[in-house]
Structure 1
Amino acid sequence: MILKIKKYLPYVLGVLCVVLMFGFEFLDDHSSEYIKAKSEYQLSIDSVSAALVRVKNIAKGTPEYSAYLLAVENKNKAKPVFYKVKEAEVFFGFKTKKIFWASFGPMFCVFLYVLYMMFRSCYFDKKNIGVKVLNSLVLGGVLFYLLWIFHPFEDLSNVSYYFMTIVCSIFIVIAIHYITKFNEHTRNKLKNQNLALAKLKINSASDEEKEEVLDEIERIVKQE
């Protein structure tokens, strides 16, 4: 029973991660009650605006109306200055650098952790396909959010985001696979060279030295 749980747990966690990361796409932006309340509120705003226009027409020529016009003029002067400063605060589409780092920092940490786990599973858990599937699914979710954070394709649809996420995930998974294969090949090559040297040494070693050489061969064989 426990072995079955261990076998299928990564797949269950992978599905759960996908649901948690992308399930919001199947939810409505707002409830029908919210849309109705917003519509009624907008009607009340329009009513107030129309009433304000009538009040302005009645107040024309009065000192109060002149003071109002002066206040509007000052506001119109301050507005472009504020928006210029506000625009300068924007960082990668976020209102401030703090908001950007609050979104990017934790997600990038997860990205690095997933890469570490993928490399680790390729080295120490080679036969566990479930773990590799779980890591790949989490990687896809992280890449989606990283693409969204930088907004280079903000005019594209969600389908385009998902497509790019899948493509990037596949490339990264393939790259990690070949990197680990290359490193494994390099380690095996070095291991074989060390064994060959050790065999040469044991042929020319004295009886006292042979035990030391055998220990060295044993150490080389046990190397990962």
Structure 2
Amino acid sequence: MSDPHIVIAQTNPRVRTTEPSLVPYITQRQGEEAAPANLVLRPVKGGGYRLHYRDEEPADRDVRGVLWARCSFNPLDESGMPLGAPQWRMMHPARQRATMQTLRCQVCNHPARTPLGYVFLAGPKDVDPDGPLVLTNQPPVCPRHVRAAARLCPHLRDDPRVFLTLSAPLYGVHGTVYGYGEDGVQVMARPDAPLPYGHPNLPTMLASQLVRRLGSFRAVDLEELMDELRHTTVSRAS
């Protein structure tokens, strides 16, 4: 179901670090577990179905009305970071959604905007900057944590692709499509590519990652970015 014309900047959130206190905010922690299945399909006016939780709350849907996977939350420390051992291979769906929605740093959950725009990172072979559509499921990174993200994540190999953009509109979601089968409501498809908002399968999708489209971007190397940020900071201070 993937579209060969879509290029996805999908960075593995797995991080190995010699600084155990530095764990990205979006990383799922031990003890944070997916909620039990509690799904139902209800008919909608005009035909078709829409996926719901039996005990649905407004926070279960995003700003475009898509239903999201539930996951429990660990307590937070005094700085507002989740407690618990990191599960490096997993992003917490609600924290990924929140940081992507509000364009906050995936590492510290602080505003990610820089004087030059927003910084998004991808693995060196993940994205063709000349492709017709560049998408990312990775929230941006603030200036303070650009180097840390590049250094700590083996997927980036200390040489990430760096995208500096003034425009990163919401595109759609990754997730799982449900339908009726022999066992009632069950998984019907797990699309490789994200579904754009407006796609006919979104009413029956359970989303797990929010995706943005990078527009009006420049692809720069890490050192070039840091030099530009330093120069901009000095210019503003003088």
TM-score higher than 0.5:
no
Structure with more relative contact order (C-alpha pairs < 8 Å, separation 6 or more):
2
Give the shorter-chain TM-score range.
Answer: under 0.3
| Greater helix share, structure number | 1
TM-score, length basis structure 1 = 0.23
